[in-house]
Amino acid sequence: MSENKGQKTLADLKDESTKKTLADLFQRLAVEQEPEAPDAPPKSMDEYKFWKTQPVPRFDEKDSFKEGPIDAEKTIADVRTEPYPIHSSFEWTTLDLESDEDLDQLYELLYDHYVEDHDATFRFAYSRTFFNWALKPPGWEHNWHIGVRVKDTGRLIAFISGVPCDLTIRGNDIKSVEINFLCVHKQLRSKRLAPLLIKEVTRRVNLKNIWQALYSSGTVLPKPLSTCRYGHRPLNWGKLYEVGFSSLPQGETKASMIAKTTLSNETKTVGWRKMKEEDIDTVYKLYNDWRVRYEISQIMTKEDVKHWIYGGKQQDGKVIHTYVVEDKDTKRVTDFISFYVLPFTVLQNELHDNVGIAYLYYYASETGLGKFIKDEESQELLKKRLKSLVNDAMIEAKKINIDVFNALSSQDNALFLDDLKFGAGDGFLNYYVFNYRAKHIEGGIDDTTNAFSKTSSGVGVVLL
Ligand SMILES: CCCCCCCCCCCCCC(=O)SCCNC(=O)CCNC(=O)[C@H](O)C(C)(C)COP(=O)(O)OP(=O)(O)OC[C@H]1O[C@@H](n2cnc3c(N)ncnc32)[C@H](O)[C@@H]1OP(=O)(O)O
């Protein structure tokens, strides 16, 4: 990306940090200036013409309130039964993700319009298996894969999705969905289609008697529950340099950067192996015991664990990769760690046509369980364990040609990001819960420096 190389002003960086751009996902390895965390809202509450009408916390709210839903309780009978009116040249559509034709159209829309890439050099290489994983978890609703088409041509020009995702927020279990992949064709931007899509997905979710939703965005909206920072660990620095993701930091040579970022070939954690189907019960238990560490986490059934963490045959081993550690004496599974893969297609590069990208997903370790859950000694032990697990996960990722390993400052990631040589990216990710008031949750960023903090975050949920 050419923008990797030039010097940017703080204003440029702040402007970029409000969009979900490729730069959100990849750092400039030599960031000259620290980007500002999006603490201050970019505009006043009154200027959020849509969001000020929605049940979301305001920026000026104090943190001294009772946590819970914002709207007065409603029933399905209060929800409109008809879709919202749409401009006469467009029509609503429900995508059939079982059909190749609709999958292809979604692929094309997201490929061309989901992320901004000024050079048109990189595209997310979405695959059928990725959509099957991301958009069809247990309990998925056909009706929540919502598109807008041009009436005359049938062309898909906008999309928004919801999938079931129940949450626990500070001990309260909340029936909820996760909203993602909101996208409007570039030529139809700023025409208020996004608010219409959001209202329509809200209506369809409400009709299932669900009133809360989790979503994340680089854009600052009223009002983030938490903000995390991206971290990026080059696994194949030479290639990242050749495609333009990485620049050469001052005082370094290509050879020194490669030497600094090269991992060993073999994993080191004793008892490390790939997760098998028969591990689902144990991983389910570990996950559930583990997630109490966090102030917001995803509730998972065994079926959810099978889908999201094990992946199973339908994934064909291409999207979600999970490893466990088995105690060699007792044969008990004591840890698991997962990452998912979503590569980039590289256009117009003589040397490479793709970049392999992995994202750290859920993990849990017996080391972090128990009574002294976050005392100093337990944290030190956990830090050591997580370093070993994440390092081995990265070695596995390298074996399947992953070039960069991404992780957010969420979960307990702050314990290992610096030590395992993750560079702090210039993108921030804000987390929101629709129709729910909750006190701010630490996102693993130091308040004053914006560097990764030294302590764990309260965000246990991972969004795609
Ligand atoms: C209970 C169930 C509830 C379910 C719903 C829960 C809420 C779910 C919320 C959605 C979670 C999505 C999670 C993800 O997928 S985050 C990923 C979002 N997608 C992209 O960044 C892809 C590239 N960009 C685009 O396709 C468009 O720029 C989008 C579609 C983002 C906006 O289109 P456009 O640029 O043509 O603008 P407009 O004229 O139609 O509309 C302008 C209004 O939209 C507000 N806006 C802008 N960006 C976002 C954003 N990322 N989340 C929420 N709102 C956003 C904006 O502040 C303004 O409102 P206000 O400032 O006047 O108030």
Give the pLDDT band (50/70/90) at residue 441. very high
Answer yes or no: is the C-beta of 114 below 6 A from any ligand 1 atom.
yes
Q: Using one digit for the tens of pLDDT, what is the confidence trace for 202-251?
A: 999 999 999 999 999 999 999 999 999 999 999 999 999 999 888 898 99
415 phi and psi angles, rounded to 5 deg? -70, -20
Q: Which CATH superfamily is domain 10-27+226-437 in?
A: Gcn5-related N-acetyltransferase (GNAT) (3.40.630.30)
Chain segment 16-64, per-residue pLDDT in tens = 433 344 444 443 333 434 555 555 788 999 999 999 999 999 998 877 6
Ligand 1 neighbour 87 (Cβ under 6 A): no
Ligand 1 atom with the smallest distance to the CA of 219 is 51
Model confidence pLDDT, tens digit, residues 336-346: 999 999 998 88
Pick the residue with more confidence: 384 or 11? 384
167-195: per-residue pLDDT in tens?
999 999 999 999 999 999 999 999 999 99
Residue 20 near ligand 1, beta carbon < 6 Å: yes
| Distance in Å, CA 192 to ligand 1 centroid | 9
What is the structure's pLDDT at 383? Answer: 95
- In ligand 1, which atom is closest to the CA atom of 196? 40
**Element of type H or E holding 239:** helix 237-243
Nearest ligand 1 atom to alpha carbon 205: 2
Helix axes 128-135, 100-113, angle to 10 degrees: 90
Q: Alpha helices, DSSP H only, in 118-189?
A: 128-135
Sequence length of the chain is 464
**CATH number 3.40.630.30 is the correct assignment for the domain at 45-217:** yes
> What are the domain boundaries of the chain?
10-27+226-437, 45-217
CA distance 103 to 129: 10
At 24 the pLDDT is 45
CA nearest to 298, candidates 174, 205, 410: 174
Asked if the domains at 10-27+226-437 and 45-217 fall in one CATH topology, the answer is yes
272: part of which helix (H) or strand (E)?
strand 272-274
CB-based burial label for 40 (10 Å; 0-12, 13-18, 19+)? exposed
| DSSP string computed for 75-123 | -GGGS-SSPPP--TTEEEEE--TTSHHHHHHHHHHHHHHTSB-TTS-EE
Active site residue 464: yes
Q: Is 48 in the pocket of ligand 1 (CB under 6 A)?
A: yes
Q: Is the predicted pLDDT of residue 14 greater than 50, yes or no?
A: no
Question: Is the minimum distance from the CB of 464 to ligand 1 under 6 angstroms?
Answer: no
Query: Which value does ipTM take for this structure?
Result: 1.00
- Tell me the backbone φ, ψ of residue 257, rounded to 5 degrees: -65, -40
